[in-house]
Amino acid sequence: MTTAPTEPSLPAPPAENRPPRLSVVLPAHNEAAGLARALAEIGSVLATCGVTYELLVVDDGSRDRTFDEIQALAAADRCVRGIRLSRNFGKEAALLAGLEAARGDAVVTIDADLQHPPHLIPELLDRWRAGARVVHAVKRDRSHDTRMARWRSAAFHGLLTRLGGVDVRNSSDFKLLDRAVVDALVTAFPERSRFYRGLADWVGFEQASVPFDVAPREAGHGKWSLGALLGLATTALVSFTSAPLRIVTSLGFLTLAFGALVAADTVWSRFQGTAVSGFATLEITLLFLGSLIMISLGIVGEYIAKIYDETKHRPAYLVASTCGFEEKDPGGTDRGER
């Protein structure tokens, strides 16, 4: 979308005989403690992959020294580039900022906390070289997550897969995307609230999956509050399916049928001369219907809120500053990549 940083300035070598260029995008929010180690580890894996690469770190409004760290790393290593967003816009926006700034023939998105194992990147690249345009790293072992987190994730992914028609079971934001897919994601999708995992499946093209085990966090701590998770889940559901609205309609018909039955029973009892009683039943029915109506209004409200958000056409993020994009060698031989 918006204020993407200036393009890496050095000219591309002839396409036929150059190794593929890979951009690795790392969204980072308060990751100062582990960033140097993560970049070093990713760099050492990439050095063996037969590609030139850039490491693009998007500082998503960190309150610690993340951007200072990125600047220091960029000064020491010409492959490192940084984008600092003007505030914390959330991981989805940070990923989008990275995808928009990436210049590689393929782009890998990976967490900055080493929970996504860098040693999987060669396998992702192999699948890409074999023709896949989207390679998903799929979680195999979630034993480091709490039972509650696993249950929550299974329920959400199952619901989205069933209602939204996109397969996101066990998926993660650790993916490799071909240039064609990245171009599609940044140019053909005007929507502001995004769910990257869903979109990467939705776009189609040739897709492949590689399983991986989630590692425990190396430094810092997880940033997802329950509220943020609920927000992401709502965005995902609302942007991929209108099924909840149809469920509301079906529930309406169901309660109508129930009401008709109760009415018929009441009329029947009156003819039979039986006293119509049941204050408790009435109370329960009213409460039940009341909550059903409130929930339904809430669901409709979520869709209206999303429409409202989208019609404002606000940028998904704003860039405060960048580093590592400036021309490193005016002579034109050094592309700022390794």
Residues that bind ligand UDP (CB under 6 A): 27-29, 31, 60, 88, 90-91, 94, 111-113, 115, 222-224
Task: For residue 115, give the nearest of 53, 27, 23, 47 by alpha carbon.
Answer: 27
- Cβ 59 to ligand UDP shortest distance, Å: 8
Phi, psi of 10 (to 5 degrees): -80, 145
Dihedrals φ, ψ of 318, to 5°? -125, 145
59 binds Mg ion (CB under 5 A): no
| Shortest Cβ 27–Mg ion spacing (Å) | 10
Binding segment for Mg ion (CB under 5 A), chosen from 29-37, 83-91, 105-113, 273-281, is: 105-113
Find the shortest distance in angstroms from Cβ 58 to ligand UDP: 7
Measuring CA to CA, which residue among 244, 246, 243, 284 is closest to residue 262? 284
Q: Which is nearer to ligand UDP, 221 or 277 (CB)?
A: 221
133 versus 175: smaller Cβ distance to Mg ion: 175
Which residue is it, tokens 């393929």? 106
Nearer to ligand UDP, 150 or 223 (CB): 223
CA-to-CA distance for 202 and 220, rounded, in angstroms?
33
- Least distance to ligand UDP, CB of residue 200, Å: 16
Residue (of 123, 19, 112, 18) closest to 70 by Cα position? 112
115 binds Mg ion, rule: CB under 5 A: yes
Instruction: Return the residue of 92, 100, 113, 201 that touches Mg ion, per CB under 5 A.
Output: 113
Instruction: Report how far residue 223's alpha carbon sits from residue 107's, in angstroms, rounded to the nearest whole number.
Output: 24
Closest by CA to 113, choosing from 172, 49, 155, is 172
Which range, of 3-11, 108-116, 153-161, 203-211, touches Mg ion by CB under 5 A? 108-116
CB of 5 or CB of 27, closer to ligand UDP: 27
Q: Which is nearer to ligand UDP, 139 or 335 (CB)?
A: 139
| Phi, psi values for residue 321, rounded to 5° | -160, 165
**What strands, in cross-sheet order, belong to the sheet with 80-85?**
207-213, 134-141, 171-178, 106-109, 21-28, 52-59, 80-85, 319-323
For Mg ion, the nearest residue by Cβ is 115
User: How far apart are CB 195 and ligand UDP at their closest, in Å?
Assistant: 14
Q: How far is the CB of 125 from ligand UDP (least distance, A)?
A: 21
The pair of three-digit structure tokens given for residue 68, joined into one six-digit string: 């200072």
224 binds, among ligand UDP, Mg ion, none (CB under 5 to 8 A by kind): ligand UDP
Should residue 173 be labelled a site residue for Mg ion when binding is judged by CB under 5 A?
A: no
φ/ψ (deg, to 5) at 2: -85, -120
Q: Which residues bind Mg ion (CB under 5 A)?
A: 113, 115
